[in-house]
Amino acid sequence: MSVAIENFIKAIYNNDSHDIKDTKPGNIAKQLGISSAAATDMAKKLATKDLLHYEKYQALQLTDKGTKMALNVVRKHRLWEAFLFKMFDMSLHDIHREAELLEHQTSDFLADKISEYLGHPKFDPHGDPIPNSNGEITTEDHSIALADANEGQTYVISRLMSDNKEFFEFCALNDIKYRNTLVVSKQFTTNKMTQITIGTNTIVLNQDFTKIIYVDEK
């Protein structure tokens, strides 16, 4: 299975499992940086391989086989993220970028070695769940959006749901990092932004950023 196919399947999986559920060829194409025409072609091809269901003008849906494949790639991606995060001093954004390439060139055998070394972690540094080698994935998620955090409460960052570079720069600047503890001293929300005081540091989360930082109560 080629890199192009793995990325295509993964994009459908990610779109399907996130809020935005648009898995029509055009939307997948946009995310992969290819033309809609190419995405339509690919969709047709993968349908013949029984990796997804394709019906003209309809959203693409992974078959069980396709889902399994997506989970295998996602597993490798997240294991690499967890591993690089532990081993090296690198930004989450850089780690993501490396994992994006390594995920396609990693045998199941090596993935298992990495997982074993890390003690079979259930989450990566963004807080995203890591599928196990059978393709099973933890769905339990007690985290809430940081924007919805309560004054006076202590939280632990559990999830940074983005692959946007500026977002990670913003996080680095404000010490927002996977598993970091924070105390919310003040919280103020309008429909355009949320202002939060963490310790003595006040940050403003604009609409784009409110829904990608998740925390657990501590």
Binding residues for DNA (CB under 7 A):
2-5, 8, 24-27, 29, 32-45, 54, 56-58
Compute the distance between CA of residue 42 and CA of residue 27 in angstroms, rounded to an integer.
13
Backbone φ, ψ for residue 172 (5° rounding): -55, -45
The number of residues making up the chain comes to 218
Q: Choosing among a second copy, DNA, none, which partner's interface includes residue 40 (Cβ < 5 to 8 Å by kind)?
A: DNA
- Which entry of DNA, a second copy, none binds 58, CB below 5 to 8 A by partner kind? DNA
CB of 207 to DNA, least distance (A): 19
From the list DNA, a second copy, none, partner contacted by residue 113 (C-beta under 5 to 8 A by kind): a second copy
Q: What residues make contact with a second copy under the rule CB under 8 A? A: 84, 87-90, 94, 97-98, 101-102, 104-107, 109-110, 113-114, 117
**Token pair 């959006």 in the structure block, residue:** 145
Residue 97 binds what, of DNA, a second copy, none (CB under 5 to 8 Å, by partner type)? a second copy
**Widest Cα–Cα separation across the chain:** 58
Decide whether 133 or 189 has the Cβ nearer to a second copy: 133
Q: Smaller CB distance to a second copy: residue 90 or 204? A: 90
Q: How far is CA 157 from the centre of its chain?
A: 14
* Closest CB 22 distance from DNA, rounded Å: 7
Of 11 and 160, the one with the shorter C-beta distance to DNA is 11
Q: Which one of DNA, a second copy, none interacts with residue 125, CB within 5 to 8 A by kind?
A: none
> Encoding tokens for residue 49?
């391989």
Cβ atoms of 136 and 207 within 8 Å: the answer is: no
Tell me how far, at minimum, the Cβ of 34 lies from DNA, in Å: 4
Cα separation, 211 vs 201, whole angstroms: 20
Closest Cα partner for 5 from 26, 137, 34, 129? 34
Query: What letter does residue 80 receive in the DSSP assignment?
Result: H
